[in-house]
Copies of this chain bind each other. A is one copy, B any other.
Amino acid sequence: MITVKEAKNIILNSTQNFGVEEIPFLKSVGRVLKEDIFADRDFPPFNRVSMDGIVIDFSSFKNGQRSFKIEGIQAAGSEQITLINLENCIEVMTGSVLPKNANTVIRYEDVRIENGIAKILIDEVCHFQNIHQKGKDKSEGDILIFKNTIISSAEIGVLATVGKEFVKVAKQPKVMIISTGDELVEVHQFPLEHQIRRSNVFTLVSLLERLQIYSETDHITDDKPVLKQKIETYLKEYDVLLFSGAVSKGKFDFLPEVFKELGVEKLFHQVAQRPGKPFWFGQTNMCKIFAFPGNPVSTFVNCLAYFYPWYFKSVGLEKQEETAILAEDVTFKPNLTYFLQVKLSYRFGHLIATPIIGNGSGDLTSLVNADAFIELPNDKNEFKSGEVFKIIIYR
């Protein structure tokens, strides 16, 4: 049995490159950018008027002039016009090009307009005011978004602005999620007394959808030849297989044997943690196999604690570690890392984690009452209120 730290290291040393694909920029939210995005022109691309008002040549104002005949209008989206008489003014709109020969914008609030004459009502006016100067934010050729950024709404605006209709992103792994266990029936079925409905696969499907991975699912009965035959096929067709169940010590926990017979390299089996101890991880040349124990909380926490970081590293994403402050004393005797469910709250800039005590790894319903797991290390047994630990947020 290895420690959580060792398991994480093995997993992070087994990452995979799924390649790159080009997709429409508007479909790229949540995906990982695989090219630098450059400014295709200066930002702003012209001296851009940033207030509605009038524009003048500053030297007239400096010479004491306060009334200006309106010579024309410069609208946003119109070609640049020219201030012909430097003692006149032009009405300008936010977003418009600064007219030629003009250099100082006075907003409407500070002007009175009557009979085609604009009178400036203020005494403090600065040269170049209310003009967002060409290239002020970025110059043509500057990198606006770096490769390996995860794309959010903020990046979408920039991609649109520079005309990236299609954008290169990390390809997603092709994932098959497989449940095992003869006690399982489908969601629409009525279970007999000794049966329960399939649920872990759907939890995993939705945990992967959070990463924009759209997986497939299957259920295989606890029948070794069938398991072996199906898994042999799936190993060739998918980048990743996620299993739930059949990895512990039970008579029908065939997976470790089947993997061995199919020549899958075992990287570890069993991690010193609770819940989720019987986790099995291995690989072939082409495929990674995460075989999670079948208890719902075990499957859930292992997907977050192992598959997520593996995926992030595989696609080139660096994730900041998140921490929270334990709100209550916790005692945990076994020499295992304890992934404890917690409810999070923000208090005065502190992230507070309040333990939610469930009834063990089979207690699916307790996940609903929490937001995260706090990771209590195995090097001690007493965890005090106020101490800080890593957390894995799942909402």
Q: Which residues of A approach B to under 8 Å, CB–CB? A: 25-26, 29, 39, 41, 43-46, 48, 50, 52-53, 73, 75-80, 91, 93-97, 107-109, 132, 136-138, 144-145, 149-150, 152-165, 181-184, 187-200, 202-203, 205-207, 209-210, 222, 245, 248-253, 294-296, 300, 320-325, 345-352, 358-360, 362-368, 370, 388, 394-395
User: Once the chains bind, are B323 and A349 in contact (CB under 8 Å)?
Assistant: yes
Told that A75-B182, A132-B362, A144-B368 touch, could you supply 14 new A-B pairs with CB distance under 8 A? A76-B252, A77-B182, A77-B195, A95-B196, A137-B366, A154-B370, A154-B395, A156-B199, A157-B203, A158-B367, A160-B187, A162-B197, A163-B187, A350-B350
User: Once the chains bind, are A160 and B202 in contact (CB under 8 Å)?
Assistant: yes
Nearest B residue to A48, CB-CB = B362
Give bound CA distance, A188 to B165, whole Å.
Answer: 6
Chain B contacts of A193 at CB under 8 A? 45-46, 79-80, 97
Q: Which of A43, A161, A320 has the most CB of B within 10 A?
A: A161
User: Once the chains bind, are B187 and A152 in contact (CB under 8 Å)?
Assistant: no
Chain B contacts of A150 at CB under 8 A? 395
User: Once the chains bind, are B44 and A362 in contact (CB under 8 Å)?
Assistant: yes
**Could you name 6 residue pairs across A and B whose Cβ atoms are closer than 8 Å?**
A29-B210, A44-B196, A76-B222, A77-B181, A158-B199, A164-B187
User: Once the chains bind, are B368 and A145 in contact (CB under 8 Å)?
Assistant: yes
Give bound CA distance, A154 to B203, whole Å.
Answer: 7
Nearest B residue to A133, CB-CB = B359
In the assembly, how many copies of this chain are there? 2
Nearest B residue to A322, CB-CB = B346
Chain B contacts of A245 at CB under 8 A? 95
Closest CB-CB distance, A254 to chain B, in whole Å? 12
Give bound CA distance, A108 to B248, whole Å.
Answer: 11
User: Once the chains bind, are A153 and B210 in contact (CB under 8 Å)?
Assistant: yes
User: Once the chains bind, are B191 and A45 in contact (CB under 8 Å)?
Assistant: yes
User: Once the chains bind, are B300 and A153 in contact (CB under 8 Å)?
Assistant: yes
Chain B contacts of A321 at CB under 8 A? 346
Chain B contacts of A108 at CB under 8 A? 249
Q: Which of A91, A205, A251 has the most CB of B within 10 A?
A: A251
Give bound CA distance, A371 to B367, whole Å.
Answer: 28
Chain B contacts of A182 at CB under 8 A? 75-78
Chain B contacts of A250 at CB under 8 A? 52, 76, 93-94
User: Once the chains bind, are A197 and B360 in contact (CB under 8 Å)?
Assistant: no
Closest CB-CB distance, A369 to chain B, in whole Å? 9
Closest CB-CB distance, A73 to chain B, in whole Å? 6
Which 6 pairs, one residue from A and one from B, show the smallest C-beta to C-beta distance? Answer: A77-B182, A77-B183, A325-B349, A160-B199, A154-B367, A93-B250
Chain B contacts of A320 at CB under 8 A? 345-346
Give bound CA distance, A261 to B199, whole Å.
Answer: 55
Closest CB-CB distance, A383 to chain B, in whole Å? 13
User: Once the chains bind, are A43 and B365 in contact (CB under 8 Å)?
Assistant: yes
Give bound CA distance, A76 to B320, whole Å.
Answer: 41
Closest CB-CB distance, A109 to chain B, in whole Å? 8
Chain B contacts of A153 at CB under 8 A? 203, 206-207, 210, 300, 394
User: Once the chains bind, are B44 and A202 in contact (CB under 8 Å)?
Assistant: no
Give bound CA distance, A223 to B159, whole Å.
Answer: 28
Chain B contacts of A152 at CB under 8 A? 206, 394-395
Give bound CA distance, A154 to B394, whole Å.
Answer: 8
User: Once the chains bind, are A323 and B348 in contact (CB under 8 Å)?
Assistant: yes
Chain B contacts of A368 at CB under 8 A? 144-145, 149, 154-155, 158
User: Once the chains bind, are A364 and B209 in contact (CB under 8 Å)?
Assistant: no
Q: Given the known A-B contacts A198-B160, A324-B349, are A184 and B253 also in contact in the complex, defined by CB atoms under 8 Å?
A: no
Give bound CA distance, A176 to B80, whole Å.
Answer: 32
Closest CB-CB distance, A182 to chain B, in whole Å? 3
Give bound CA distance, A76 to B395, whole Å.
Answer: 32
